[in-house]
Amino acid sequence: MLNLDRRWIFLAIGVVSIIPFLVGIGMPISTTAEVESIFDYVNGLDKNDAIFISFDYAPGTQAENTPMGVAVMRHAFYNDVPVFITSYFPLGHGMAIEGLNYVTNPAVPGFYQRVSFEEWAVFREAGITDKDELVIAWENDGNVLPEGAMGWVFEGRDFAMLGYAPLFHLVILGMTASIEAQYPQDIYENQLYEMPMLREHKSLREISLALTTAGSSACRSWIVYGREKVGLPVAFGVTAVMATDYFPYIQSGQIIGQMGGLRGAAEYEVLLAENGITASTDKAFRGMDVQSAAHMLIILLIIMGNIAFFAGGFHKKTAMKGRG
């Protein structure tokens, strides 16, 4: 059995990865303290706060990282918490745009209707920048929330797409003094000083949370340059293989919590759905069925490999070879 052609193993992994997507088992997922602490923290924020969501990963880990950023962005939008969106890497810039586009895509259930910076310029110039007043004025002006939308999100009031900047660890350091000095414009060339959310939150000292969704150790920069410099509250959303590395930061209180891999994102989706913030769970939850099947197969392969190894007497040969 040890000589099994590995193409059979590849085929088996392919099959168990595809079938759960087609069948849609939907096994229940319990939540952990590491994710609940992020959820509870974001749930306690309101329109007077602001958070950063940083898409610090390349497309390779998007299946794990994107649902984390999307889930927290939805949560923030639901509570009218302004969101600054950044990226540590050039490729993460594209991921950030896709994340925002997904949350504001009318084809996706539970989307938020996006209003560009130019569209609400008249209201801004009239001094209407409070979210509640803005929504009333906007709807009184004849704008109707599309069917299925969860609410309005105004560019510059509810979100600012800052994107990637070179040497991002220094950008974090610089933002401890001034966000505008590092990002005079957003990626759409809107001036940041004109944005109400920047006027109310000028530096990282005035930011309530930075969530870094990362596929590398880039997330540590938020601790080193943000948390330790100005006490910025930080939360991690990292890939499953990295999650084990950052438990010391949770215990030391340097991060509020951590979403580890697809499981972490799925837990956040479950918390959103259970609390009525979204109508249902999303991609991460669906992906967990695939992970269940794949993990079971890998464990089965480990057991088979060990049975074959010991039944075939290979362990004795190895021991004798070692003595020789």
Partner 1 sequence: MIVMVGGILMMVQYFIPHQYSQAVFNSYTEWAPIVGAFALILGVGSLTRVHSHKIRRKAKNWQYSWAVLLPLFGMPVFALLLPQSLAGGMEEPSIFHFLFMHIQVPIQSTMFSLLAFYIASAAFRAFRAKSALATVLLLAAVIVMLGQVPIGEVFGRWLPETGLWILRYPNLAAKRAIMLGVGFGILATNLKIIFGVERNWLGGAGK
Task: Compose the 46-85 pattern: x for residues touching partner 1 by CB under 8 A, - for all others.
Answer: ------------xxxxxx----------------------
Judged by CB under 8 A, the stretch of 71-79, 136-144, 173-181, 204-212 that binds partner 1 is 173-181
Size of the site for partner 1 (CB under 8 A): 64
Q: What is the DSSP string of 45-108?
A: --TT--EEEEEE--GGGHHHHHHHHHHHHHHHHHTT--EEEEESSHHHHHHHHHHHHHHT-TTS
227 binds partner 1 (CB under 8 A): no
- The one among 127, 142, 166, 313 contacting partner 1 by CB under 8 A: 166
> 75: which 2 tokens?
């949560």
The reply to whether 230 sits near partner 1 by the rule CB under 8 A is: no
Interface with partner 1, residue 288, by CB under 8 A? yes
Cα separation, 34 vs 44, in Å, equals: 16
**108 lines the binding site for partner 1 (CB under 8 A):** no
CB of 48 to partner 1, least distance (A): 27
The correct pick among 263, 268, 277, 278 for binding partner 1 (CB under 8 A) is 263
| CA–CA distance, 284 with 297 (Å, rounded to integer) | 20
Identity of the residue, 123 or 183, whose beta carbon is nearer to partner 1 in the bound complex: 183
Helices 62-78, 283-311: inter-axial angle, 10-degree rounding:
150
Q: Record the tokens describing residue 175, joined without a space.
A: 């933002």
- Residue ranges of alpha helices (H) inside the chain are 6-23, 33-43, 62-78, 90-103, 121-125, 131-140, 168-175, 179-182, 196-200, 219-221, 228-230, 240-243, 247-251, 261-274, 283-311, 314-323
Q: Does 296 bind partner 1 (CB under 8 A)?
A: yes
Which residue's CB is nearer to partner 1, number 108 or number 145? 108
199 vs 34: CA distance, rounded Å: 32
What is the smallest separation between the CB atom of 173 and partner 1, expressed in angstroms? 5
Q: How far apart are CA 160 and CA 59, in angstroms?
A: 22
Asked if residue 152 lies in contact with residue 120, where contact means CB atoms within 8 angstroms, the answer is no
Residue 114 β-bridge partners? 153
Q: Based on the shown chain and the rule CB under 8 A, indicate whether residue 302 belongs to the binding site for partner 1.
A: yes
Centroid of chain to Cα 40: 16
Contact call for residue 31 and partner 1 (CB under 8 A): no
Specify the stretch interacting with partner 1 by CB under 8 A; choose among 69-77, 78-86, 271-279, 304-312: 304-312
Segment interacting with partner 1 (CB under 8 A) among 120-128, 134-142, 190-198, 243-251: 243-251
Which residues make up the interface to partner 1 (CB under 8 A)? 2, 4, 6, 9-10, 12-14, 17, 27-30, 32, 58-63, 91, 94, 98, 101, 165-167, 170-171, 173-174, 177-178, 181-182, 187, 240, 243-245, 247-248, 251, 261, 263, 288-289, 291-299, 301-302, 304-306, 309, 315, 318
